[in-house]
Amino acid sequence: MHTDPYLWLEDDSAATRAWCAEQQARTAAELDADPRFAALADEVLEHLRDDERVPFVEAHAGWWHHFLQSPAHPRGVYRRIRPDDYRANRDAWEVLFDLDALAAAEGVDWHLAGIDHCTERPARCLLSLSADGGDAACLREYDLDARAFVAEGFQLPPGKHSVTWRDPDSLYAAVVLSEADATASGYPREVKLWQRGQPFAQAHSLLKAEHRALAVSAWRMLNPDGGEPVDIIEEALSFYRTRYWRVLPDLSRQALPLPPKVDIDGVVAGQLIVRLNQAWGDLDAGVLLALDWQALCTGDIDPLPLFTPGPRQSVDGALAGRSCLFVHVLDEGVSQLWVYTPTADGWQAQRAPLPGQGQLEMVDQPWQSNVLLFGYDDFLTPSTLYWLDADASLTPQALRGQPPRFAAEQMHAQLRHAIAPDGERIPYFVVARRDAPHDGQRPTLLYGYGGFAVPMTPFYLGALGRQWLEQGGVFVLSCIRGGGEFGPDWHEAALAERRQVAFDDFLAIARQLIADGVTCPARLGIQGGSNGGLLVAAAMTQAPELFGAVVCEVPLTDMLRYTELSAGPSWIDEYGDPADPEHHAALAAYSPYQHLQAGVRYPATLVTTSSSDDRVHPGHARKFTARLGELGQPVLLYQSDAGGHSGQGGDMRQLAAEVARVTVFLYQQLMDAA
């Protein structure tokens, strides 16, 4: 029977804190003391605080809103501006909410976890505030016009809540106030209709799920034409299986006859827009379709396919406008934007032009309009915010663009393919200086994720361009199976007991980079976070000879105990259940923590985590570090105190230092090597 000598590092005990402090001191001595660290941290901080960075805005009631972090407001302020002033680049912002002032007044290190405007009364917002950057957050109602919290307004203590507006005086609230309110994964198991002025305990229960379910939530989709709103309860049976219910006027519920693996993207002209994540009848997984809402409610199912992806395509998302549908398609990892309009004969599809072969981010779809605000960038093109009004033209208008951060004209980006062991073509992007010698000695950073149907797409390299590419480094972005680049089949190819497929794809790219003379093992580094942390940890245990450095961020590493830690039970659909003998065997075959062996030389490794991470437990990172240290391997651990799993929304100095620390580590291991 396997015994775990470092099980104690899963606890927040005095011994664990002392051990972590010792690791922090070692890391500071190695990285923070490097002569390059301070200058790099200052440079990253300058980039984060850059006043010329594009403010991505959301439109509400004639104002454009934006959350800003700056030197004067490191935690951030929520502000608004009139569209004409934004377009003219006038500094006419009005501050609505000051998170730094609140933190100072209450003595709490607040992080902003979210802002939700009431569609019918946009000046009323629900603010989600996290005390440490974790997923658990408290909720308070705020009046933007009064610049104050609403007296006797909606509020909740910290928890992993899911709360949305139903109308100005009621909420759909799925709340975790005690262990009894939570599923096995720690998310809400009951959703209620909560009326203004009503104690939450008296709110009307709409659905209470079983303890083994993942979570429940509910939301309202308003009809811009004034028709009856569509109210939906989402009962997540597991990470990928959902039961949808319609909330009837008398607050009873009616099951919708949809398959369990679908996403609902909105309502247009009485049509429910659905993305299939599984085959349904003669429709393949990945298809975007429309269903007549009224007919669906009577059990009459007549799906109309809108977009059927090709073998190297996927639908990344869709937003419903007043009378059109905006659809984001990925084609070989590159964004396309399509606009669908219902007509008397069906739907008309038109493709909107984009600036290049990069990434689109749907930023906002203003209420009661056919407008889309979206961001665009690619590896070498800074982010720009665009405005597209489908009622006027399908040609997007650039609103603001970020100035270049590095000499992009000296670089080029290429799409290449590696062949996996099973013969599949695995795409990856290579970004490097045009004049770099093809001598197999270039310092190269290979980044990967490969899970949860999340696609890896081109993005502006910003500070990395200056700190890595301009220094002669190569950046590689992998698009391995397990991700969402090519739809549900691409994701499911590496699901659960097939997880090794994702690792094989990643290793195939690493070997191809070496075979093509891009780099060599001593100068090849890999980086990934969360599921990507699992990816690089597995890669280094399975093929340590391929790599010179590993950056393993907020990782899962003990796959035999992951369901016992934090939100682990929610990921059984993705990884499999260690309690199931078949899944246990597959997990045991690659679980990185258990596969660290004596007598093997592992690459230098930097592991990061956060003591406030309530999604992926920091015990994964701590135990992996401890085991590597026991084996005499070169390993460093950095554990932050705040920022949660994502590390966002906190102090920018801390974030800049963390980025600089990773960069120094890569310099030391890959660029300084003889």
Residue type present at position 358: G
Cα 610 to Cα 618: distance, rounded to the nearest angstrom: 6
Across the beta sheet with 63-68, the strand order is 58-60, 63-68, 77-81, 94-98
Neighbours of 468 (CB within 10 A): 24
Helix (H) or strand (E) run with residue 511 in it: helix 500-515
- Tokens (6 digits) for 73: 């407001």
Angle at the Cα of 555 (from 275 to 466), degrees rounded to 5? Answer: 85
The secondary element (H helix, E strand) that includes residue 293 is helix 293-297
CA dist., res. 662 & res. 672, Å (int) = 14
Q: Which of 412, 414, 458, 413 is nearest to 435 (CA)?
A: 412
Of all residues in the chain, what percent are helix, strand and coil, respectively (each to 5)?
A: 25, 35, 40
- Give the angle subtended at the CA of 112 by the CAs of 106 and 115, to the nearest 5°: 115
Cα-Cα-Cα-Cα torsion 68, 74, 76, 79, nearest 10 degrees, comes to -50
d(CA 218, CA 164): 7
For residue 352, the cross-strand partners are 337
Give the three-state DSSP class for 501.
Answer: helix
Q: What count of other Cβ atoms lies within 10 Å of the Cβ of residue 13?
A: 11
The neighbour count for residue 95, using CB atoms within 10 Å, is: 13
DSSP E strand boundaries for 598-652: 604-610, 635-640
Longest pairwise C-alpha distance within the chain:
74
Could you give the CA distance from residue 131 to residue 142 in angstroms, rounded to a whole number?
18
Concatenating the DSSP letter of every residue in 41-67 gives: HHHHHHHHT-TTS----EEETTEEEEE
Return the CA Rg of the chain.
25
CB 74 within 8 A of CB 642: no
What is the residue type of 156? L
Contact 399, 386 (CB under 8 A): yes
Q: Give SS3 for 388.
A: strand
The owner of tokens 């308003």 is 222
Q: CB atoms < 10 A from the CB of 547, how many?
A: 25
277: helix, strand or coil? coil
- Residues annotated catalytic, as ranges: 530, 645
Neighbours of 261 (CB within 10 A): 19
Q: How many other CB atoms are found less than 10 A from the CB of residue 114?
A: 15
Q: From CA 165, how far away is CA 534, in angstroms rounded? A: 37
Torsion sign over Cα 625, 626, 627, 633: positive
Q: Which position has the token pair 């980079």?
A: 513
Q: Tell me how far apart the alpha carbons of residues 329 and 332 are, in angstroms, rounded to a whole number.
A: 10
Please report where in the chains the tokens 């909105």 appear, as a residue.
Answer: 266
Distance CA 326, CA 370 (A): 9
